[in-house]
Amino acid sequence: QKEVEQNSGPLSVPEGAIASLNCTYSDRGSQSFFWYRQYSGKSPELIMFIYSNGDKEDGRFTAQLNKASQYVSLLIRDSQPSDSATYLCAVKGYSGAGSYQLTFGKGTKLSVIP
C-alpha cells in the first residue's frame, strides 16, 4: 500500500511570512510529485510539480524534493490571506501495464492571518 503522509494542520502563519508544507511518501520508486491547492468546496488546482531532486521555483512557490529521504515540501513566500486553503501532496508511481497512479495525502490546511 503506497502511502503519502502530511501534517493535517491547521498551519497558521502571519501575512508576509513563509509557509512551509511537508510531505513524506513510502514508495521509493515514485517518479513525480505534485502539489495541489484546494479551496473549501472547490476542486483541487495544480500549483507545482517536480520530477528531480532539488528545488523548483515558480513565483512565490518553491517545491523541494529529496528522493533519498522520500520527502517533498512546498514553500510559500510572502504568504497572503488568499493562500489560505488545503494543500494536497500527490505522488505518482508506476502501477504496471503502462499505467501510472497518483496517491494523495490527506492535505494540510493553511491559514494565513492578516
Partner 1 sequence: NAGVTQTPKFQVLKTGQSMTLQCAQDMNHNSMYWYRQDPGMGLRLIYYSASEGTTDKGEVPNGYNVSRLNKREFSLRLESAAPSQTSVYFCAQAEGGDQPQHFGDGTRLSIL
The footprint of partner 1 (CB under 8 A) covers 31-32, 34, 42-46, 49, 88, 90, 92, 97-102, 104-107
Residue 83 dihedral angles phi and psi, to the nearest 5°: -80, -10
Count of other CB atoms within 10 angstroms of residue 92: 18
Residue listed under C-alpha cell 512557490? 61
Indicate the residue among 19 and 34 with the shorter CB distance to partner 1. Answer: 34
Indicate the residue among 35 and 79 with the shorter CB distance to partner 1. Answer: 35
Cβ burial, residue 65 (10 Å; 0-12/13-18/19+): buried
Three-state DSSP state, 108: strand
Indicate the residue among 36 and 76 with the shorter CB distance to partner 1. Answer: 36
Quote the CA–CA distance of 87 and 31 in Å, as a whole number: 20
Q: How far is the CB of 48 from partner 1 (least distance, A)?
A: 10
Indicate the residue among 37 and 79 with the shorter CB distance to partner 1. Answer: 37
Q: How far is the CB of 16 from partner 1 (least distance, A)?
A: 29
Q: How far is the CB of 114 from partner 1 (least distance, A)?
A: 27
